[in-house]
Structure 1
């Protein structure tokens, strides 16, 4: 059921908030009402559409996905997977909220089941603090925090960085896989403001992803260099990578195709038009482009769908 939340006055003038579209701002507030008391809700555009914009025929599921990606880019929400289902969480929920009788309905990023009750969730929050989060998070503003349920009491806790999902129960991965995995998590930490994270265990999803990259025929040196390059390019352009593991996976698969136009334009389902729209918008506004996406907009052989190019003022692909 929907819950009562409060909005701080600083919300309306927060730089992070005002950089989002008007509909994305309204969706962000709506998410507070429909998420559980840990700020978590399934990242299902159709469900969110019906719960937040039930009477707005001009807002579609695709519109919702675009708004969610907008909120991710501005670090207001983050995505995670649990047992094959994608969830979102409000990134600043724990810092500015205090729910006296919390009700946890959905899994959290530590894969703690809601059936374990509030005590298990509190323990999970404490376990996240084993990370070294002493570095200041000064790039964030108060506006990227949600507000509390009920009587509007503010929490004074400090948000912890997201932990790697689940753990490998037995054997450690190969040295090469482990080196890549640790580099990715280190750069994710720097990108999201929790520099100094100490990984004390191995995450299943990260190991699976990295092994998949090696299975594509990419060498360790190539993978390490590409990971470094992607995060460096994002930093230099002032952008943040919303779902880094999924993003890197797309880049690596594109690299494995060695520039073949069939990688993303051949109808294999790896990417739809929505990421291309975001890429072209980022390229137009900040000049940010990843080599794995192929030629840039306006260049011969560009892989961006023709309708996306046309809608952003570029000519048809050669």
Structure 2
């Protein structure tokens, strides 16, 4: 049989404190199938948390440089507009982001290290140094303290720093951006695939997420069949999940089979009959999903053993018993 590599992908954005667990269960399932059914020729099994990868791409020195360089002019124009309309606080905050951009770029590695439990030695400087950038959420927290801040406040301040940056991003770069469930309102309110397609072209999706998926595609062996399992637990992951499938289907590889599963697929997309989905998604995997993938490999085995002349799995919707 042709070797099948399995990629389990969690699109953004879900929880940032730890990987969303569904991928771990699927990886264990496929690894056990690989052991129990060697005749199915399951190759590599990889689990990729693209939610965390997107977060690290944006909140990095390179990511913030890209953001500030592309938004500085718009931020200043918005600040001027806010001033003319009496929104002095909003204008002040935007101007402060721009004036402190070098501090944000310098401190973002320390901020992410503190949140990852690695930056204890920087905690004192982060909460006390006048060279640390400040947003209004951070300032409000510091103003509410009854004593001088200490290293124990660093974790909260680092979380608020990301929230402050997210506010800036949503105002001047991508209005749908949130730290979790990116673009959820767009996905929930969309009445047509055209609206979803528009959301797929949003700045964060285009400038940050698409390059991440393209890196994954570049790492695939085009000589092997690629089973792409995309998790979609919440409405806020629909846009990125569909974009993931679309990019894989358009990558020019002959043997790519894309599957979407997860809570949102089980509920919001269960009765969806939008024909455009079939261009990007070969199958929905309902419920727990294990039976779907079992059927997939059994079907492949039947096709190849019967020497029917094709390895293509028909488009369809698989459902567990």
Q: Tell me the TM-score normalized by structure 1.
A: 0.28
The answer to which structure, 1 or 2, has the higher relative contact order (CA under 8 A, 6+ apart) is 2
Q: Tell me the TM-score normalized by structure 2.
A: 0.28
Larger Rg: 2
Structure with the higher helix share, 1 or 2: 2
